[in-house]
Amino acid sequence: MAFARVHGIVLHHQVLGPSGRPALVFINSLGSDLRIWEEVAPAFTERFRIVLYDKRGHGLSDAPPAPYTIDDHTDDLLSLLDHLGIEEASLVGLSVGGMIAQRMAVRFPRRVQSITLCCTAAKIGTPELWAERIGAVETGSIESIADSVLQRWFTPRFHETQADDLAGWRNMLVRTPVHGYAGTCAAIRDADLRQDAGRIAVPTLCVAGDQDGSTPADVVKGTVDLIPGARFELIDGAGHIPCVEKPAALSGLIQQHLQEAGLV
């Protein structure tokens, strides 16, 4: 584990692999931390310098008062890359992590070599949906919404056959700081990246889970249509967190994408 004060907050992060290799950064989703990538990241350690981190309000990173913006999260990541001496990186972002990746590619195009957008979109949900979610966690805690969130995160098969794993991921979710969770909900609520999606000029792969209850495949496809040259792939038997449920399938798609982008 490593900690660094960047952009005014302390971020928990891990770096795997020596400097000098191309950098590959994984960005986690709402209510999760860097542990969701534990079965994906090792597939890339021989050729890349891997960066994993807990975004603000999550895991072991600082959780400043809500609300946050996507640009807050983006500036955090940029400052972390500066701290690590990384000039360019490929980004893999899940859900809100994918929104951060999109924003990085638009705001700092010289720092981004490729993006993989997992189970995400340029616009996710409605202001009313996020206002309801914020109100629920601020009034009744994350525990009050945990089971409904897990229904969207994982397929019925995962619920039926991996009860112990499900309990562990539930623990991760409910132990997220309430103001960190609510602050990031506000960031998603206020983010509409559709107008700028056409400015993304790096190789882009968009991935959906065929049973994702949070960002269904048709929502992901809507973003694919906005990004020039973006490619779409569907993972069978996956919900909203394919890096946990189908890590080998996701790793293979990322590997293919990086090869086609000339980064492997």
Please write the tens of the pLDDT for every residue from 192-226: 999 999 999 999 999 999 999 999 999 999 999 99
CB 212 within 8 A of CB 234: no
Rounded Cα distance, 113 and 193, in Å: 19
Which of left, alpha, beta for 2 (phi over 0: left; psi -120 to 50: alpha)?
A: beta
Using one digit for the tens of pLDDT, what is the confidence trace for 59-112?
999 999 999 999 999 999 999 999 999 999 999 999 999 999 999 999 999 999
CB contact at 8 A, 101 and 91:
yes
CB 187 within 8 A of CB 69: yes
The angle at the Cα of 213, spanning 163 to 223, to the nearest 5 degrees, equals: 140
Q: Give, as one character, the DSSP assignment of residue 67.
A: P
pLDDT tens for residues 243-258? 999 999 999 999 999 9
Q: Note whether 75 and 67 are within 8 A (CB).
A: no
| Gap between the Cα atoms of 261 and 238, Å rounded | 25
Predicted confidence at residue 1, as pLDDT, reads 81
CA 95 to CA 84: how far, in whole Å?
24
Alpha-carbon span 209 to 221, nearest angstrom: 12
Residue 168 has pLDDT above 90, yes or no: yes
pLDDT surpassing 90 at residue 53:
yes
Number of Cβ within a 10 Å radius of residue 248: 10
Report pLDDT digits (tens) over 112-135.
Answer: 999 999 999 999 999 999 999 999
Diameter of the chain by CA atoms? Answer: 49
Question: What is the CATH topology of the domain spanning 2-260?
Answer: Rossmann fold (3.40.50)
Say if residue 264's pLDDT is above 90: no
Cβ atoms of residues 130 and 188 within 8 Å: yes
